[in-house]
Homo-oligomer: A and B are copies of this chain.
């Protein structure tokens, strides 16, 4: 039996995703809305271009709630529409981009770094819990 870390977030309520999206408006700054088994659930609003980066040890799931996510990989481009998700495997360079404002739900390990192996002006060190 594997061991999964205990939750540290105190929130034991039902979480309404749209309500949480209503609590922030900044782009490229994920907010933590849930935690389980050492993983975190983040919401993010994005528009424009992010930076190419990778996470050497973590797979990262992008679920689109609104808008359209264009995930540039080095060898191809993946388009993710509302109601769809895509998992970027560990070690794979990716650059999230969105033409219109796009709302994402992310699922990844708690210790995943925002811009992975890259440090940029856009990098957020600690995610706010909402």
Contact = CB atoms under 8 A, between A and B. Distances in A.
A41 B15 CA distance: 18
A39 B58 CA distance: 12
Interface in A75-130: 78-80, 83-87, 89-90, 107-109, 111
Given A38-B2, A39-B39, A15 B57 contact: no
B7 A89 contact: yes
Contacts of A39: 37, 39, 107
Copies in the complex: 2
A57 B18 CA distance: 30
Given A14-B79, A37-B59, A79-B14, A4 B109 contact: yes
Given A85-B17, A87-B36, A2 B79 contact: no
Interface of A: 1-4, 6-7, 12-18, 34-39, 41, 57-61, 78-80, 83-87, 89-90, 107-109, 111
